[in-house]
Amino acid sequence: MSKPHSTVEISIVIPLYNESGNIARLAEEIVKALPPKEVDYELLLVDDGSVDDTWSVIEEACNSTPHIQGIRLSRNFGHQNALLAGLSKARGKAVISMDGDMQHPPSYLPELIELWRQGNKVVSTKRTRTEHLGKFKTKTSEWFYKVFSWLSGVQIEEGSSDFRLIDRQVLTELLRFNDVNPFLRGAVKWLGFDKHTACLEYQVGQRHEGESSYNLKRMLNFANSAIVSFSTKPLLLGIWLGLATSAIAFTELIYIIVLWSLGETVPGWASTVGIIALLFGVLFILLGVIGLYLSRIHTALQQRPKFVIGNITEAIEPVEGSKTKQPEELTS
Residues that bind ligand UDP (CB under 6 A): 15-17, 19, 48, 76, 78-79, 82, 99-101, 103, 212-214
Kindly tell me which of 99 and 173 has the beta carbon lying closer to ligand UDP: 99
For the stretch 67-71, contacts whose Cβ atoms lie closer than 8 Å and that sit 24 or more positions apart, written own/partner, are 67/36, 67/41, 67/42, 67/43, 68/27, 68/42, 68/43, 69/2, 69/42, 69/43, 69/44, 69/45, 70/44, 70/45, 70/46, 71/44, 71/45, 71/46, 71/47
CB 187 to ligand UDP: min, Å: 17
Which partner, Mg ion, ligand UDP, none, binds residue 242 by CB below 5 to 8 Å per kind?
Answer: none
By three-state DSSP, how is residue 207 classified?
coil
CB 212 to Mg ion: min, Å: 5
Kindly tell me which of 20 and 169 has the beta carbon lying closer to ligand UDP: 20
Q: Which single residue brings its beta carbon nearest to ligand UDP?
A: 212
Kindly tell me which of 14 and 122 has the beta carbon lying closer to ligand UDP: 14
Sign of CA dihedral 192, 194, 196, 201: positive
Distance of alpha carbon 308 from alpha carbon 191, whole angstroms: 7
CB 99 to ligand UDP: min, Å: 4
Kindly tell me which of 103 and 169 has the beta carbon lying closer to ligand UDP: 103
Residues in touch with Mg ion (CB under 5 A): 99, 101, 103
Beta bridge partners of 72: 47
Distance of alpha carbon 54 from alpha carbon 90, whole angstroms: 20
Kindly tell me which of 217 and 323 has the beta carbon lying closer to ligand UDP: 217
Radius of gyration of the chain (CA): 27
CB 214 to ligand UDP: min, Å: 4
